[in-house]
Amino acid sequence: MAAVGIFTVLVFATVLSIIEIPKMLQGKLYKELWAFSILLALGTVLAILKFLDVNIPNPSDWIAWVYSPVKDFMKSLLK
Amino acid sequence: MKIAKISNHQLFSLTACNSIGVALIAISALMVRIAKQDAWISAIITPIFGMLVMLMYWFLGSKYPDETFVDIIRNILGKWLGLLVGINYVFFYTIIGCHLPWYIDQFITIAALPETPTYIIGLLFMITIVIAELYGVETIARASEIFIILISILFFLAMLLVIPNARIDNLQPIFEHGLTPILKSSIFLTCFTTCHLVTLMGIYPYNIADIFAAKKSILKGYLFGGFIIFVTIIMSILVLGQNITSKLQYPTYVLAKEINIGKIFTRLEFLIALVWIVAIFIIGILFFHAAVISLAQLLRLKDPRKIVIPLALIMLVLSEVILPDIPYYANWINLVWIPYSITIALIIPLLLLLVFSLKNRIFNKKISKCIRT
């Protein structure tokens, strides 16, 4: 299962790059190229880690940490 | 690139779909848990707070009619502080946008297709959103115009059919626990129906044809959404009673299961499910669009459509990670989402307005001094 998933993601990323990158080079959209590559690399890495069952840090926990001081107040509202 | 402009009726339907959205199927449980049988009163007073928020967004947009939200922030706060606040908004749009595939996953696997893996449903949902986003704002707005008709017809049909099961004594006694629980629960309702409307800032000042008529259509859309939420809450209390409603995960869905007319019209609960899925779809698009546009504006990209697919991939993976299970979700949404959404949707725009008016005042004084001397 994991191997199939990783393979699919890699194929998807390669095909997308093959289609999109020449267009951006032609249009001289270098900023777009940077943003596209970084986001796609991030997405691919995240997907592969997910398929390998690695614990990905959860952004909801970061938000929960930021708002932990008001937690007790929220609990009192819920009663 | 030509800027897509949307009409006021389209803005109305986008606002209405957006404010119905997440709250439609699940909110009455939380409301009833806090306010008991008086929850419907708080559904009446909530739009009064919400209208003020909407007016604030309208005012903020009307000062800079031809710019996007991130540009407005940059104009008001300057380059570096603006960048910081802009990143904050991109984070908000992306992370909360990941919740919507998760809602659909959970609902479909619980209610309809229990053996389908969740990521397949999430994948289908994200693909639709990507297609919509690639077609552009005008298409999304026109789709929402059709959806609002569909939503109204199906929703009111389901509610009419369930009326024979309503028992008026479920509402009594009114004001049993005083005014405090009603006000408390209206805070929650405001956060669920109003605060995510900050995603409208992804299209609002920039893509609107007539900015001054937009005020009316935003308020009308918001009130329409508020009315639908009011009907769901009062019908849940009337039909199911406060005791059962407060213990369910999807009260409105169960409410539609109660439809039973002459043993012929039964099992119509997917009317409600369809309404909800369509509304969630519009919210998902708006979150995703806001994320793409804000990120593109922050990086000053010329063609925002290039980053659509990579961002969708990231959001698809995060939607599997971000809420591990339902207890985590219930905890997070009650304790963290409320303060977080209030900060993002209320406090920061309020500060922006404050800085804007201060700047204007100082600037005007300088000009008048120059004229005098």
List CB contacts (< 8 A) between A58 and chain B: 321-322, 324
* pLDDT above 90: residue B93: yes
CB count within 10 Å of CB B127 equals 12
What is the pLDDT, as a whole number, of residue B1?
56
Beta bridge partners of B208: B6
pLDDT digits (tens, 9 = 90+) for A27-76: 888 888 999 999 999 999 999 998 898 888 899 999 999 998 888 888 88
Beta bridge partners of B265: B261
- C-alpha to C-alpha distance for B98 and B323, rounded to whole angstroms: 9
* pLDDT above 70: residue B133: yes
List CB contacts (< 8 A) between A77 and chain B: 184, 187-188, 338
List CB contacts (< 8 A) between A39 and chain B: 307, 310-311, 313-314
Distances (CA, A) of B70 to B83, B113, B141: 8, 40, 21
* pLDDT above 80: residue B369: no
* pLDDT above 70: residue B372: no
Whether ipTM exceeds 0.85: yes
- C-alpha to C-alpha distance for B222 and B228, rounded to whole angstroms: 10
Choose, out of B335, B340, B341, B342, the residue to mutate when testing the contact with A (most A CBs < 10 Å): B335
One-letter amino acid of B295: L
Min Cα–Cα distance to chain B from A3, Å: 16
Min Cα–Cα distance to chain A from B5, Å: 24
What is the pLDDT, as a whole number, of residue B247?
87
More confident site: B125 or B260: B125
What is the pLDDT, as a whole number, of residue B286?
92
Taking the CA of residue B218 as centre, how many other CA atoms within 13 Å lie in the half-sphere pointing to its CB? Answer: 28
Taking the CA of residue B67 as centre, how many other CA atoms within 13 Å lie in the half-sphere pointing to its CB? Answer: 16
Distances (CA, A) of B17 to B124, B233, B344: 21, 17, 21
Beta bridge partners of B6: B208
B301: nearest Cα among A34, A37, A18 = A34
Task: Give me the DSSP letters along B274-298.
Answer: HHHHHHHHHHHHHHHHHHHHHHHHH
CATH number of B8-372: 1.20.1740.10
Q: Spell out the residues 6+ positions from residue A8 whose beta carbon is closer than 8 angstroms to its own.
A: none
B117 to chain A, any CB pair closer than 8 A? The answer is: no
CB A51 within 8 Å of CB A5: yes
B95 to chain A, any CB pair closer than 8 A? The answer is: yes
A51 to chain B, any CB pair closer than 8 A? The answer is: no
* pLDDT above 90: residue B130: yes
Q: What is the mean pLDDT of residues B306-322?
A: 91
- C-alpha to C-alpha distance for B16 and B150, rounded to whole angstroms: 12
Assign B271 a pLDDT band (cuts: 50, 70, 90). Answer: confident
What is the pLDDT, as a whole number, of residue B124?
93
Residue of A nearest to B30 (CA): A78
A29 to chain B, any CB pair closer than 8 A? The answer is: yes
What is the pLDDT, as a whole number, of residue B90?
92
The verdict on a CB contact (< 8 Å) between A36 and B338 is: no
What is the pLDDT, as a whole number, of residue B265?
78
B228: nearest Cα among B272, B184, B181, B172 = B272
Q: What is the mean pLDDT of residues B179-200?
A: 87
Proportion of chain B above pLDDT 70, given as a percent: 98
CB count within 10 Å of CB B215 equals 17
The verdict on a CB contact (< 8 Å) between B306 and A40 is: no
The per-residue pLDDT of chain B, averaged, comes to: 87
A45 to chain B, any CB pair closer than 8 A? The answer is: no
CB B211 within 8 Å of CB B68: no
Min Cα–Cα distance to chain B from A45, Å: 9
A6 to chain B, any CB pair closer than 8 A? The answer is: no
B301 to chain A, any CB pair closer than 8 A? The answer is: yes
B13: nearest Cα among B286, B217, B278 = B217
- The residue ranges of every structural domain in chain A are 2-78
What is the pLDDT, as a whole number, of residue A13?
92
Q: Does residue A59 have a cis bond before it (omega within 30 degrees)? A: no
A46 to chain B, any CB pair closer than 8 A? The answer is: yes
Environment class of B9 (CB within 10 Å of its CB; exposed 0-12, middle 13-18, buried 19+) = middle
pLDDT digits (tens, 9 = 90+) for B10-69: 999 999 998 888 888 888 888 888 888 888 888 898 888 889 988 988 888 888 888 888
- C-alpha to C-alpha distance for B280 and B199, rounded to whole angstroms: 13
The verdict on a CB contact (< 8 Å) between B318 and A46 is: yes
Min Cα–Cα distance to chain A from B222, Å: 25
A39 to chain B, any CB pair closer than 8 A? The answer is: yes
Specify the pTM: 0.92
CB B263 within 8 Å of CB B246: no
What is the pLDDT, as a whole number, of residue A29?
83
Beta bridge partners of B261: B265
Chain Cα centroid distance, residue B149: 18
Environment class of A68 (CB within 10 Å of its CB; exposed 0-12, middle 13-18, buried 19+) = exposed
Least confident piece of the model among A27-41, B196-210, B232-246: B196-210
What is the pLDDT, as a whole number, of residue B92?
93
Distances (CA, A) of B355 to B66, B133, B204: 20, 33, 21
CB B133 within 8 Å of CB B292: yes
